[in-house]
Amino acid sequence: MKKNFLKTIMVLGALTLYLFPAYGQSPEKMSYQAVIRNSSDQLVTDQLVGMQISILQGSASGTAVYVEKQTPTTNANGLVSIEIGNGTIVSGSFATIDWADGPYFIKTETDPTGGTNYTITGTSQLLSVPYALHAKTAETITGGITETDPLWTASPSFGITDTNISNWDSAYNWGNHASAGYLTSFTETDPLWTASPSFGITDTNISNWDSAYNWGNHTSAGYLTSFTETDPIFGASVASGITGTDTTYWNNKQDQLIAGTNITIVGNTISATGSGSSNDFYLGQDTLGGIVFYIYIGNDGNQHGLIVSKTETTAKWQNSAAVTGALRTWDGVYNMNLMNDSPAKNWITTNFSTDWYLPSIDELSLLWHNRFHVNKALNAVGATLLSDNVYYWSSTEVNESYARAFQFPNGNAFSNNKPTANNVRAVRAF
């Protein structure tokens, strides 16, 4: 990096420095621009650089009367632009430099990495342009100024005084226009205005309107004394009979409901207490897509049980010998989830919702014991009866080749080959 910076110093030494005075009140400033190149003569672009600027008096190695630091960023052309007098002061005061006591030189030290390791140094003499700062002695004028422009003296602006300006400021800020001399009296003579209803509007009217807008008492303000609806169409409408009591009931309509038979209303909840409730099932009931064939009371105090489908089919338990693990005698849901390659399972999943399943051997036994209630209900609705002379498949497996079936002719459970086509009924729980 040192080697690269030395070449940059040489390039900088050949630069022309553009210095411009910044006119105005103290502190004064000077513009400074420089182009930064690296050792390959390439521009250092879009990069933060650190700079220390010194104003030297007398010669290129003279005394530094002012020193500051800045960290500008080069642009796309490698150019940095700064204002001397606007940086972080190291020593001296830019505003107190006596530019008449020259010559003066500007010394720049640069760190291309943006720090304070200044490896690029350049010194140039400040020529006559910066000494325009010395013209600040012209900031004060002795004597006076007399305006002789005939156009200006003929303008209304020529007579404007400080008092006028003060009064205008007061008026603009909602001061007293009358006391400021802007409005002493006013009489409206426009015949169109005086003939308008607005002509009679008073401060009292405006105050009352404000009160009415803010939901004040319209009657006491004189806006509403009485009102009688005489529109025959409205009089014939059901709306004409609406009363304040009706409105109250509408706002609380829930409280006006009357519970009918087997219905209770508590707050915002309507509940069924009679037919169809969770404690109103019975054997042989036609409900939930099938016939109730088993009921028990659960821990929640409600009835639960099993429902058998109104239709049946004949199907194999399994097409080929394979172990599934469906060994539970009491849990048909568990068993059927394990049954693979099963035409019996496929018939149920195709024709029923997901909560229907092939019953276990124990559940088939319950169906057999209550078959008379079920058949009576099936007959009443014209559905397929449970047969006394067929075998029904359960979902309970014995081994890879056999599964449990139930003999409805005699009420016995036995093992049967899985590829045998037996009757199949679906059940569901409630």
pLDDT tens for each residue of the chain, 430 residues long:
444 443 333 333 333 333 444 444 445 788 889 888 877 888 889 999 999 999 999 999 999 999 999 999 999 999 999 999 999 999 999 989 988 888 999 999 998 888 999 888 889 888 754 545 555 544 555 566 677 788 778 888 888 888 877 777 666 665 565 665 655 566 777 888 788 888 888 888 877 777 666 666 656 656 555 666 677 887 788 888 888 777 776 766 555 566 665 566 666 666 555 444 567 899 999 999 999 999 999 999 999 999 999 999 999 999 999 999 999 999 999 999 999 999 999 999 999 999 999 999 999 999 999 999 999 999 999 999 998 889 999 999 999 999 999 998 889 999 999 999 999 999 999 9
pLDDT at 204: 84
Find how far residue 223's CA is from the centre of its chain: 47
388 within 8 A of 423, measured Cβ to Cβ: no
Largest CA distance in the chain: 138
Domain residues of the chain, as ranges?
2-137, 286-429
pLDDT at 46: 92
Element (H, E) at 420: none
Q: Can you tell me the distance from the alpha carbon of 100 to that of 57, in angstroms, rounded to the nearest whole number?
A: 11
Does the structural domain 286-429 have CATH classification 3.40.50? no
**Amino acid of residue 403:** A
pLDDT at 405: 97
Query: Packing angle between helix 371-380 and helix 361-369, nearest 10 degrees?
Result: 70
Element (H, E) at 365: helix 361-369
**CB neighbourhood size of 136 (10 A):** 16
Q: Can you tell me the distance from the alpha carbon of 412 to that of 402, in angstroms, rounded to the nearest whole number?
A: 16
CB-neighbour burial class of residue 108 (10 A; exposed 0-12, middle 13-18, buried 19+): buried
Query: What architecture (CATH level 2) is domain 2-137?
Result: Sandwich (2.60)
